[in-house]
Amino acid sequence: MSGYPPPNWAPARMKTHKALLLFLPALGAMTAVQSAARADQVADDAAASARDEAIRMQSFIVSATQIERDPWYYASLPEFEVLSRATDRVTNWQSKALLRGFFFENQVLPKDWLPQSPVPYTVIIDDVDLNEISERQIHSLPMDFRSPADPVMWGDRSESFRVSSDAVVAHDADTYAANFNLNGVKIFAEADVDVSLPGSVELPAVGTVSLERLRRCTPPLPKWLFEGLFGLNSGIFRESFVPLSDYDQWGRPENIRGMAGPGTLWVSLDETQQLLKRLKKNKSMKIAVPPMGVLFAEAPVSKRSRDLWESEAGLFARWGLMGPGHVDPVLSRAFLELVRRARLEPVDERMFTECFGFGYGVMEEKLESFLKTVLAQPITVDLAVPFAFPGLETRPATSDEIGRILGDWLRMKGDTLRGNDPELGRKFLATAGRILERAYRDDNGLPPDVAPPDGQPSGSLPGNSNPGSAVVMRPLVVSASRIHDTRLLAVYGLYEHDIGNDGKARELLEAAAKAKVARPQAYVVLAKLRYAEAIGKPLGPRGTLSARQAASVLEPLHAALRYAPTPDVSSLVVETWNHCDLKPSERDVEDIVGGIGLFPRDVGLAYSSAVLCARAGYTAQAVALIDKGILFTPPGNLRDYFERLRLIVAATPGPGAR
C-alpha cells in the first residue's frame, strides 16, 4: 500500500519537573593538566627522543575510586542499593529516611500507580569536607536542612520543621540514582541526645522517590493528576514530608504517629496571603474555582493560566488522596475509578458523573468549600510509620560496584545536562569515564596511571624496545571480555554510547545482552545500534530490512519489554516492522496493539502502528488503532492524518484482512 500520510509530530516525552544543578562529588580525582603550549613542542619532543633514553607516557586523568582514608562500603536493601563512604551512623540515618519515605508512599498512593523498578534505585552517601578538597576539584555541596521554601504553607510548624532537597539526582529510562553529601549535617541518635535539651532530636525528612516511581506507571497517569502531585508550586509532593513524632521525657523520639507536608497554595504565595486576609473578614466569600472541564482538558495549558490550573490540580489531588475524597469510601472508590479511566481515555462530564454520581458543578462546589479549609494548611496524614528499620549490613564495596554505581550516576547526570549546560555535562561524562576506567583497571590488576602498549602486560617494556629510543604508550583499550560484572558491562556500554563511541558501545552491550544482564536500557540502546546498522545497509527487497536484520533488532527490544515497557521501545518495534519485508504474525500484531493500550496518549505511536497493521492486511486492528489515536488528537492537521488513513484502509482491505 502507498499514500499513507506521514505524521509531522514527535510524541512528547516527559521530563523531570525540576533539575537540581549542583557540582560533582569529590571522588578523589586528580587531574593531569596539559600545557597550552604542548602542541608547539611536539616537534621538539620528537627530535629530543632520539637522543634521550626515555619512555614518554600518555597523560592520564586519574580518579581514585577507593581512598584508604575513606573507603566505600556497599549494602543492599529492598528496592535500593547503597554505596557509602560515610560513617555507619550517618549511612543508617539517611537510609532509614529513604525507607520511611518508601513506606509512606506505599501507604498513601495506590499500588497500581507504583510499578516495581526494573533496576534497584541507587543511593550514594558521601561525607566530604569541602575544606579538605582542592579548589580545582569538582564536588557536591553538603545537604542543607532548612526552613521550608514557603513557610506560610506550614503554619505554626514552619519554624520547627527542616526540609531539604539537595540530593543530586539522575535518572535513565530504567533507573534512578541520588547522591547525598551529609558532611556537617547534625545527625542525632538516641545515644547522642543531650538530655538537657528536651525536644532537640530531629528526624530527617523522608526521602521520597515517588516522582520516579510514578513516571514508570503504565498506562501513564493523566497530566492533571501528575501536576497535582508534583507541580512546582502547588503539588502535594513538592517538598519533603516530615515525620510527626512523640518524644520521651529526655526529648528522644519514641514513635512516628504521622507525616506532614506543605499546605495548599492557590496561584501564588501573594495570592494565597490575600485570600487568607479576605477569608478572615468574610468566611462566606466565594472563591472562583475554574470549571472542571478546564482541569481535564487534553489541550496544552496556556502559560497565562498555568498557575491557576496547577492549583486546582493540587487541590483535587489532595481532596481525593488525603481529604474528603479519601475519608469517604464511596468517594474514594469514585476518585480512583476516575483516575483509572482517565489513564485510558479523555475525561468528560459523562465519565465523571458515571464515577461520582454527580456532575462538574457539584464537584466545583465541593472543591471551593475544601479550599477554604486547607488553604495554607499543612497536609497531615495519620499513619503509624516504623520508627526503626533493620540496620544496614555493609561490606567493603568491590571496584566493579564502585565503578558501576558512581559511573552510572555521573553519566546519567551528564547526559541530562547536555541541553542546559553542555560544559558541565561534559565534566560529568568525563568523570564517569575516569571512574569506569579505574574500575576496569582495578578489576584487571592494572596500575592506575599507566597504559600498557598493545599486547604487552602492564609494567613491562615492549620486547623489541631498544635503549635510546622512545616508546609512546597508547591509551588503554577496554575489552568486553575482561569485564566480569555484567551490570558494569551494561553501564560501560551505555557510557560509550553517551559519548558517541558507538563501536565500543556495541561490543560492550552485545556482551552484556549475551550474559542476560538485568538492565533494560542496555537492550534498548543495543537495539538502536543494530537498527542504525541495518537501516544503513538494508538487505531486503526494495530497500527494506531482511527478516534476519529485523529479528536482530526485535530480539533485544523484546528483552527490554519483559522488564519494563516504554514508549521508545514500542515505537522502535513498530518502526522496525514498518521497514521490514516480512509481514508480522498475529501474535506480533497483538503485542503492538497492546503497546497502544499501555501508552494511549502517544498518538504518534498509534498512527505508525495503524499504518503497519493496514500494510500487513490487519484492517480491523488498523481501524481500532485509528479510533484510539483520534481519542487524544485535537481537531486539526493531526486528526486529518488519521481520517485520511481510515479512508485508505477502507478502500484497500487486502487479501490478508482480519
Q: Has residue 498 been placed in a domain?
A: yes
Place 242 in a pLDDT band, splitting at 50, 70 and 90.
confident
At residue 46, does pLDDT exceed 60? Answer: no
Cβ-proximal residues to 156 (8 Å cutoff; 6+ apart), any chain: none
Q: Has residue 158 been placed in a domain?
A: no
Q: How large a percentage of the chain has pLDDT more than 90?
A: 53
Q: Has residue 73 been placed in a domain?
A: no
What is the extent of the structural domain holding 286?
A: 264-377
Q: Has residue 594 been placed in a domain?
A: yes
Which CATH number covers residue 539?
A: 1.25.40.10
Same domain, 371 and 434: no
**pLDDT confidence of residue 141:** 73
Choice among 146-150, 225-229, 332-336 with the minimum mean pLDDT: 146-150
Same domain, 355 and 497: no
Place 211 in a pLDDT band, splitting at 50, 70 and 90.
confident
**pLDDT confidence of residue 162:** 64
**pLDDT confidence of residue 53:** 31
**pLDDT confidence of residue 270:** 93
Place 33 in a pLDDT band, splitting at 50, 70 and 90.
very low
Phi and psi torsions of 37, nearest 5°:
-90, 5
Same domain, 426 and 351: no
Same domain, 527 and 638: yes
| Beta carbons of 581 and 541 less than 8 angstroms apart | yes
Same domain, 317 and 445: no
Same domain, 434 and 582: yes
Same domain, 430 and 371: no
**pLDDT confidence of residue 204:** 52
Place 16 in a pLDDT band, splitting at 50, 70 and 90.
very low
CA 597 to chain centre: 22
Place 79 in a pLDDT band, splitting at 50, 70 and 90.
confident
At residue 352, does pLDDT exceed 90? Answer: yes
Q: 113-165 pLDDT, tens per residue?
A: 999 888 999 999 988 777 776 555 556 677 766 666 667 787 766 666 666 65
Q: What is the mean pLDDT of residues 484-489?
A: 95
| Cα gap 536→161, rounded to integer Å | 59
The C-alpha cell at 656 is 490478508
| Beta carbons of 70 and 85 less than 8 angstroms apart | yes
**pLDDT confidence of residue 467:** 40
Among residues 548, 558, 568, which one has the least CA distance to residue 608? 568
Same domain, 372 and 426: no
Same domain, 529 and 630: yes
Place 207 in a pLDDT band, splitting at 50, 70 and 90.
low
Number of domains in the chain: 2
At residue 174, does pLDDT exceed 70? Answer: yes
At residue 217, does pLDDT exceed 60? Answer: yes
At residue 574, does pLDDT exceed 70? Answer: yes
Strand order of the β-sheet with 176-181 is 168-171, 176-181, 121-126, 80-84, 73-77, 395-396
Same domain, 362 and 442: no
At residue 185, does pLDDT exceed 90? Answer: no
**pLDDT confidence of residue 608:** 95
Question: In this structure, how many other beta carbons lie within 10 angstroms of the beta carbon of residue 2?
Answer: 6
Q: Which residue among 352, 377, 402 closes a domain?
A: 377
Q: 494-540 pLDDT, tens per residue?
A: 999 999 999 999 999 999 999 999 999 999 999 999 999 999 999 99
Q: What is the mean pLDDT of residues 620-625?
A: 95
Among residues 49, 23, 24, 45, which one has the least CA distance to residue 34? 45
Q: Has residue 259 been placed in a domain?
A: no
* 523-544 burial: b if 16+ Cβ within 10 Å, else e: bbbbbbbbbeebbeebebeeeb
Q: Has residue 275 been placed in a domain?
A: yes
pTM of the model: 0.81
Among residues 409, 389, 471, which one has the least CA distance to residue 77? 389
**pLDDT confidence of residue 641:** 93
**pLDDT confidence of residue 243:** 82
**pLDDT confidence of residue 617:** 92
At residue 265, does pLDDT exceed 80? Answer: yes
Helix, strand or coil for residue 26? coil
Local structure of residue 515 (DSSP, 8 states): T
Same domain, 283 and 351: yes
Place 238 in a pLDDT band, splitting at 50, 70 and 90.
confident
Helix, strand, coil share of the chain (percent; to 5): 45, 10, 45
Local structure of residue 57 (DSSP, 8 states): P
CA 313 to chain centre: 23
Q: What is the mean pLDDT of residues 1-15?
A: 38
Helix, strand or coil for residue 3? coil
Q: What is the mean pLDDT of residues 547-568?
A: 94
Place 394 in a pLDDT band, splitting at 50, 70 and 90.
very high
